[in-house]
Structure 1
Amino acid sequence: MTAAVATSEDFLQPPSGKEYPPRYRAPSAYAPLHTFQLPKADNRQYQQQYGDLYFLRLAKLKPAVEKVGREAWEGFNIAEEKARKVERVLDVRQGELCWVVGTVYMDLPLKPNILDDVAHDNFAAAPPPRLTYLDPSNPDSIQVMLEDESGRLRLAGSLLRATHLVTGVIIAVLGTENSNGDFEVIDIKVPDLPLQPQRWERASTDKIDQKLNRVESTAKSSKIAFVSGLGMTGSAGDGLTLELLTEYLLGYTGVESEEDTSPTRISRLVIAGNSLGEVETLVRDVDTSNKKKNAPKKYGYDASSYNPSPIIQLDNFLSEILPSIPITLMPGERDPANFSLPQQSIHRAMLPKARMYCSEGQPGSTDVEPGWFDNVTNPWEGYVDGWRLWGCSGQNVDDVLRYLDFSDEDGNITEGEDGETRIRVMEAMLKWRCTVPTAPDTLWCYPFQTHDPFILQACPHIFFVGNQPQFRTMVVESEPTFRLNGADSDMPDVSDDQLNSRVRLVSLPKFHETGELVLVDSETLEVEVVKFQLFTENEGE
């Protein structure tokens, strides 16, 4: 990774009168998928049971995990006893070697219970996030179960401690039932990565069946820029770093001579949530003699204390760079959007300057060409420069980490999880084929009835998650695929080199803490980081 350094001679100079040749930004081929677009508000239904979502997930992923289990365990035997497959978890018999497929359910002592919240009338707002759902002082309180439409089966064995599992994951387990009625696990298999479309080709599962528009190849490859956690508060404290980011994206930072770092090669900017930071309410001087000061607030909201500065700053930031670069904007948990997943796009009315660059049609419409500025959902997936992308603003990884044990020797919860752990969680999600497995159990989501949008229908080329503590990246490949008896009726007619998927994982840091912008090369998918940092006088010494 190379970095260009601008000297003092590049700034604060009078106009030289020198004419510079025009520079043109690399074109962007962009085709969003509207996988997570919910029906209009008046057509959304919340009377359904959330349990149906798990049955949909099991029905969809069961054939895939059965295939992996069959390939791994067919012919497997212990003491001349051959492992057999059982169809339901309640068909397991004590002492018989078998394997079965089901949904993981974890009963954890600190896991939130919506029934308790309703019983205590705590349903008006989301509960505060917890650092963990585990009780380090009582490790035996953790129960891992496997369930399907017939019932539940409690799992046991040392392998469970070495394998990261969370509620909602579809797995196949090999083992036998012991005298206590628990299933002693010998081995665990997951669905693994789905098939991956070739670059510039749509997946067969896409609802839109049109071809991707290729861009003309240039001497230098373009780059896709990713940033998350801008954390705008509307104060002067976060203005300088954002100004450096703006000037870099617009090409004002004196690095145009460096071809590898030239911002003209950036074809699109993707903002992965939490563009707004901690917003302080306004404190206004009020007349103490005003008798209405103790009047009840309408809908529990005091409009006089609303601080519009952060959203105004975001609108100004977007409108300043939009004439030069196309932007995809995802909401986050701190942004003005619905709290439950999938979060719908930030309403255009809140961005009066930036919305001028939106498409003229309805947001999320599949019949309308996307605009130069596309405010999308969270999660989001689509095609950029021929590659398939899937991204989230970070809630999925944060919630999975609450299922993992990071206690020290004394049983105290620590901040031991780091960027490496989070990138491994992202890898696990891909192999689970479920990117938000803990929804709806511990992560709020819409009660889907006909499909589960969090299941990966096709494998992305770039899988990114925003608002993480550190930048991390790695490449994940699927396990080699073997055809049983030379054929597989569920497998499309593809060549052998298309059977294995290869994904670039990118963990995006919070910009307001790290000042880091991530660039992904559109030809090689190699990743580099551009860091913006302010040096004080003492640091310069």
Structure 2
Amino acid sequence: MAQVDACVVRKELAYEEKWRRFELGERKYGQQYSQVYFNRLNMMREQLKKAALQRWSSLQEDSIMERMVKAKDGVESVIVGILFKEMKLKPSILQEYAKHGAAMMPNPPRRAEKLYADESDMLILEDETGRIPLEFPEEREILKDLREEFLVSGLVVAVKGAKTKKGLFSVAGVCPVSVLPQPSPSIFEDDAYVCIVSGLCFGDETVNPLYADLLLETLKGAALADATENFKLAHVIVAGNSVCRAKDGSDKGEYLKSHKAIDRKAQDEAAFPVRELDRFLCGVASAIPLELMPGETDPVNYLLPQQAFHPCLIPDSTKFTSVHRSTNPSEFSLGGQLFLGTSGQNVDDYMR
């Protein structure tokens, strides 16, 4: 049994939600992402020019091309643009539709067991005026920490090199944008802690349910010999994948194709993981404020930004004012300290 001083009070931090900007209003599916990338390029172009001059001190300012079409063959220059990685192993929804047609089931894609990256991948840099394939040297060490395999689609970078007669850009260096100045962190008189957990995977038969109970008791201080330090824990962030994904081979698709109602047993099996999550959240919220973010396997929309858990899914824990159902990405402040992050899908995609 944990020993707790009767006068000890749990640390409290002022909470302010800032994630409302990630909530979706009217949903439009006819737009393309190209304009988003070009707006990002225009916003970061001047910062990249300054970063390039700092990184390559011998570089002349007139060597930085305003647009990549101005780069001349055989002349060393710097071009700024958006990276696109052409990956042959990456799944294509158009190819899937061409193969299966209207018989395709509207299930979210599953994470591949193997990587999409391959030696045949090609990096292309593009801006408003065009695009040019990048040719990397065999001696990758000259690129230091930004080698070809670390570059992914969507990055805005400055690339130093020279245009070849084959229409390629021979890369001599890659420069990302510098980190913008950050506000000074808040200074607390006493220590305060924030616990981040993810991957609880309620409903996964391979996960021992006692682990979640032990975590709950630890967060509340009941599993510790001295729970005094535990009272400095001011907030818990549940960062996605709280519910496991449906098992492979489930008959969900057959139900949809046959237009039959799902029987009671199947309903109970589908609802069990969410009920277990609700029970866990009630236990945590009774002692500590928490932030609930959705993740890839949770019962919310699949594409980012993912919307908050609907209150009907977790009716009991929603009654607690200490439970904050947020979006993914999420942004909020605790005691004046800003927290901004995702449940990790963008990192997973980067690693593929």
Give the TM-score normalised by the residue count of structure 2: 0.85
Distance 2:155 2:169 in 1: 17
Q: Retained in 2: the 8 A contact 1:103–1:146?
A: yes
Report the equivalent of 2:17.
32
Count of aligned residue pairs for this structure pair: 335
Deviation for aligned residue 1:83: 6.3
Deviation for aligned residue 1:74: 6.0
Q: Does 1:302 align with 2:262?
A: yes
Matching residue within 346, 351, 356 for 2:319: 356
Q: Secondary structure at the match of 1:241?
A: helix
Matching residue within 301, 304, 318 for 1:341: 304
Q: Does 1:63 align with 2:23?
A: no
Report the equivalent of 1:268.
235
Q: What percentage of aligned pairs have identical amino acids?
A: 29
Q: Secondary structure at the match of 1:353?
A: helix
Once the two structures are superposed, residues 469-491 of structure 1 have per-residue CA deviations (whole angstroms, 9 ceiling, x without a partner) of: xxxxxxxxxxxxxxxxxxxxxxx
Distance 2:167 2:65 in 1: 16
Amino acid at match of 1:151: G
Amino acid at match of 1:67: K
Q: Secondary structure at the match of 1:23?
A: coil
Q: Does 1:126 align with 2:108?
A: yes
Deviation for aligned residue 1:184: 1.0
Q: Does 1:172 align with 2:158?
A: yes
Gaps of 5+ in 2: none
Q: Retained in 1: the 8 A contact 2:49–2:64?
A: no
Distance 1:90 1:20 in 2: 71
Structure showing the higher helix proportion among its residues = 2
- The RMSD of aligned alpha carbons is 3.0
Distance 2:98 2:295 in 1: 29
Once the two structures are superposed, residues 231-281 of structure 1 have per-residue CA deviations (whole angstroms, 9 ceiling, x without a partner) of: 111769633111111112222124326x5xx21110000011011124469
Once the two structures are superposed, residues 398-423 of structure 1 have per-residue CA deviations (whole angstroms, 9 ceiling, x without a partner) of: 11111xxxxxxxxxxxxxxxxxxxxx
Deviation for aligned residue 1:355: 0.9
Deviation for aligned residue 1:227: 0.7
Distance 2:196 2:256 in 1: 46
Matching residue within 158, 161, 181 for 1:195: 181
Report the equivalent of 1:45.
28
Amino acid at match of 2:303: S
Distance 2:273 2:29 in 1: 32
Aligned CA distance change for structure 1 residues 99 and 19 (closer, same or farther; 3 Å): closer
Distance 2:255 2:335 in 1: 57
Amino acid at match of 2:68: V
Q: Does 1:379 align with 2:329?
A: yes
Q: Does 1:391 align with 2:341?
A: yes
Deviation for aligned residue 1:19: 10
Distance 1:356 1:322 in 2: 10
Aligned CA distance change for structure 1 residues 24 and 110 (closer, same or farther; 3 Å): same
Report the equivalent of 1:535.
none
Distance 1:390 1:251 in 2: 27
Aligned CA distance change for structure 1 residues 301 and 65 (closer, same or farther; 3 Å): farther
Once the two structures are superposed, residues 507-540 of structure 1 have per-residue CA deviations (whole angstroms, 9 ceiling, x without a partner) of: xxxxxxxxxxxxxxxxxxxxxxxxxxxxxxxxxx
Distance 1:374 1:179 in 2: 58
Distance 1:84 1:52 in 2: 27
Alignment of 1:436-455 (within 5 A): none
Gaps of 5+ in 1: 1-9, 12-17, 201-213, 284-292, 359-371, 403-541
Q: Retained in 1: the 8 A contact 2:245–2:298?
A: no
Alignment of 1:103-252 (within 5 A): 103-120=82-99, 121=101, 122=104, 124-130=106-112, 131-135=114-118, 139=119, 141-158=120-137, 159=140, 162-163=147-148, 164-200=150-186, 220-233=190-203, 238-252=208-222
Deviation for aligned residue 1:390: 2.0
Aligned CA distance change for structure 1 residues 183 and 301 (closer, same or farther; 3 Å): farther
Deviation for aligned residue 1:113: 2.2
